[in-house]
Amino acid sequence: MSDMSKRTEELALAEEQELGSGAIAGMVRAMLESVGENPQRDGLRHTPERFERAFRYLTGGYQQDPEKILNGAVFDVCYDEMVVVKDIELYSLCEHHLLPFFGKCHVAYLPDKKVVGLSKIPRLVNMFSRRLQIQERLTNQIAQAIQNCVNPLGVGVVIEARHLCMVMRGVEKQNSETITSAMLGAFRDNQQTRDEFLALIGRGNR
Ligand SMILES: [Zn+2]
């Protein structure tokens, strides 16, 4: 490594250390030792701080509030067709193993004179994903937050995801996907609405 890139890395590291308290890094050092590693060797020397920084970022959703994300961006309209935002990339951590699960999230709602800025929906998905989750709860929280803030006639959320705690440990076939859905209001009561949503995300009548 050149002196220059070494310095850049050290600078980046100094920033990381400022952000984290170091409490997690200390535990990671102990964890590395307990599996027989040497946390002082070159490749691992800065790993505890990097892990802490990454982990704090991946759980940054606890610091955010769904109402703050959505409330400033709810607009009055006379549009009453379904709004669908599909294929939102999703990365979260399973609360049982602290391992990633990731996939796609599809969100739809049926406006009742109000819509929310489209970019807010992926932000909402990110916010709830950056907490320790189980997929079922994540799905429900996204649906419920939209229901509460936008007050539409109904909300549908579908998540398709792969869990590393399953595929890496060989619990399930490599390609198995977990699909969860939350249907509120018209999406629960009206089959036509639900079918329209599922057809739009490519999950209709299989
Ligand atoms: Zn798990």
Task: Name residues whose C-beta falls within 8 Å of residue 78's C-beta, 6 or more positions apart in sequence.
Answer: 113
Q: How far is the CA of 166 from the centre of ligand 1 (A)?
A: 7
Catalytically active residues are 94-97, 135, 163, 165
Question: Separation of 172 CA from ligand 1 center, angstroms?
Answer: 12
What's the CA-to-centroid distance between 118 and ligand 1, angstroms? 31
pLDDT the model gives residue 6: 60
Q: Which pTM value belongs to this model?
A: 0.87
The tokens of 173 are what? Answer: 């076939």
What lies within 8 Å, CB to CB, of 91 at 6+ separation is 58, 100, 102, 129
Give the CA-trace dihedral at 201, 202, 203, 206, to 10 degrees: 170
Per residue in 93-131, pLDDT (tens digit) is 999 999 999 999 999 999 999 999 999 999 999 999 999
Please tell me what DSSP assigns to residue 168: T
Answer yes or no: is pLDDT of 3 > 80. Answer: no
Using 50, 70 and 90 to split pLDDT, how confident is the model at 79?
confident
Ligand 1 is an ion; its neighbours by CB within 5 Å are: 94, 96-97, 165
For 122, other C-beta atoms within 10 Å of its C-beta total: 15
Q: Give me the helices (H) in the chain, please.
A: 3-19, 23-34, 47-58, 66-71, 120-129, 135-150, 164-167, 186-189, 191-200
DSSP state of 143: H
Q: How far is 71 from 53, CA to CA, in rounded Å?
A: 29
For ligand 1, the distance from its centroid to the CA atom of residue 75, given in whole angstroms, is: 38
CA of 93 to the centre of ligand 1 (A): 8
Element (H, E) at 91: strand 83-94
The pair of structure tokens assigned to 151 is: 């007050």
Ligand 1 centroid from CA 169, angstroms:
10
Which of helix, strand or coil describes residue 147? helix
Token pair, residue 71, equals: 């409330």
